[in-house]
Structure 1
Amino acid sequence: MSTAPEATSSPSVLARIRRTPFWAQIVAGLVLGVALGYLARAADISWLATTLETIGRIFVQLLKLAVPPLVFTAILVSVANLRNVANAARLAVRTLLWFAITSLIAVAIGLGLGLLTNPGEGTNLKTEGLKAPKSTGSWIDFLTGIFPTNIVTAFTEVEVLQIVFLAIVAGAAVIKLGAKAEPVLKLSESVLELIQTALWWVIRLSPLGTLGLIGKSVAKYGWDLLEPFATLTVDVYLGCALVLFGVYSLLLKFAAGLNPVNFFKGAWPAIQLAFVSRSSVGTLPVTRRVTERLGVPGEYASFAVPFGATTKMDGCAAIYPSLAAIFVAQVYGIDLGIKDYLLIAFVSVIGSAATAGLTGAIVMLTLTLSTLGLPLEGVGLLLAIDPILDMVRTATNVAGQALVPIVVAAREKTLDLVAYNNPAGDLYDAAPAAVAVPAQSGAKASATA
């Protein structure tokens, strides 16, 4: 019969791709992107370089498109749901405390590496003609930037700090009004699920986005550009690796009594996507999902993860600014003292919200340089390699955003140890809507939530 060949026909290319583990798809995109970027640069194929840049730009634009509604609804819902969490105030305080502790450790590592390696000495980089950024960070800008003057502008110009402020106020108002505000809360929850579902479709395009973003960087910058910044680049990657794999493992082991291997097994999809997308907020649905799958109660995760995605930046706001400040000071021949290093630590802990979970850390860098009185023109030196450094910085950010809720939940004895010790399989096989469904009880968070 003619049906036999159909029954034994090989699966389509699309079907084979879908069966390939998602991490393997991203690795394939990374390798292919490097190869195509190198080809575009070596053979001077302008159309290929433009294509790679366009693919990467569209992917990032799609991630950023969801940022305003995602941040607003996620924070609003998480604040409102704190009324269902026992000891909510204590959990919030302990979360902030662990944010500060890990930031201090990260900045100490950054300063230590900078003092040991002197990344700015002997670079012979020319600083003539460099201009300070048009938009610079200062404490006045940071503080006044929290409070919006126009609600519409806060959303249209993606002022994340202002959106966070509005969401916290709205969430507190929902708690205050109680039953009267229940329709607003239900609408916000529905919008949040809708956005996360749509964003999940974008996340599935990460292999293609990886190809474009990595390919663009190689085609545009090549490898020659890294030579004068070699020490700084190694320092940033080494510092982030020490925090990501060293400090976080030690905290899990000794502060929470957990096996670090299980954490990395469960959190790897979020860390991997953060490395590619360079956006903590864009990675938020995956970060929250892996955090809940590792046993953190849904109600607490719905608060801690969105809050961390907009304020906790160990890579962008701790390791990198400390190293970059030392680099800029040495390039310009300026000596830093103990007071300056203490200021760097202070800025890193208090000002980390200035990075706001978006790609890049220029605002945080200008805030640090302006606080120390260093030339803001030094930012121009670092712009060329910023995308390369930002990948590992964001991966470290996201790992920390998942780590702190796990540590706090473990110390509060609300972590589901069965879920933590048995990280589930491929995160991307489950229904995307599950991201928005909180666990119903603290100690009974499902391993498949």
Structure 2
Amino acid sequence: MTDAPMPDKPVVREGGTPDLFTKFDPLIKQREDLLATGQQDPFSLVMEKVESPTVAICNGNRTILLGTYNYMGMTFDPDVIAAGKKALDEFGAGTTGSRVLNGTYQGHKECEEALKDFYDMDHAMVFSTGYQANLGIISVLAGKDDYVVIDTDSHASIYDGCAMGNAQIVAFRHNDVEALEKRLKRLPADAGKLVVLEGVYSMLGDVAPLKEMVRVCKEAGAMVLVDEAHSMGFIGENGRGVAEDQGVIDDVDFIIGTFSKSVGTVGGFCVSNHPKFEILRLVCRPYVFTASLPPSVVATAETSIRKLMHGSNKRAHLWENSKRLHGGLRDLGFTLGTDTPQSAIIAVIMPDLEKGAAMWQALLENGLYVNLARPPATPANMTLLRCSLCAEHTAEQVSEILGIFEKSGKAVGII
């Protein structure tokens, strides 16, 4: 996706060669105009030192991290780090091979066993990234005469998985159960159908009504895939996500997730109870044709996943942080993406990109890092500041965050 409209004809450079970058010119100009005002590039921040899951040094200043997806704060867990160091010493830096060739080490199987235990499911398949998990599973499940039904606010990896496959794509209005049901009823009764949903949507932090959605999917004979990237670890009694929290995890056919959020490392996965699931290892191209994760990474993931199985106290503290920050920002007068706190993501809506960038910079200069999100990544052409809370944020840090938002918001004229 791109902000720039496609030109009618490629611009021809001197010498007769079409310039393939012409379609990006509006975006290039927008970026240059923004930087010309003295604004720091919000998408090129360098962290010189990371001290903990919640604090880093940015531009030489101590900065509270509120935009890292490190929901459960596992990146600096001593057991996780020790497991990675041990695997690095024993197995080396990488596998240099695909999982179907030489790239399956003992650690990869142990990581998949941890996922099966965590979700209480029969099968687990680890990918090199969460993006590849969606890309691979969606593209291989639905074929030429099948249908994939997706929410209009779906993550880019879901859209790209649809584009990579040969199925017919049908979109429905965001989180609208009635719209989903209408779309499903229009499809041929005998066609294969896969409905792809997300537990928590990453931009606004809103939760899907999975209980009602899964019901209409099953009534229509559709299989259901739920991406729980932003809910694994802290939503649900056992941290299994929104599907568990809403009581439909046993009715979901596939759960996709990532290691780069609550697990605290990198990688992706799919878990399922489908009896034929294992054949996907031979037909899923992003699994077959990608080098497997380094042994140190799967060791950290396996250790983290097993610790998250006993993370009820962390989950409770994270929910307290979310409620307190959401309520505090609302009381200060900020416009938020949801009426109530629904996840660890709190979106602060900005009037436009210029104000949003100015607010982002003011927060950073005052010691707080958040994500600046802009179209086309955001729904409804919004510019927003996305706050991602961590279970390691203290009550004192949440108070400090609110103080920085108030100071910066008044300076920029947002509140």
Give TM class, smaller chain. Answer: under 0.3
More helix by share: 1
More strand by share: 2
- Between the two structures, name the one with larger relative contact order (CA 8 Å, sep ≥ 6): 1
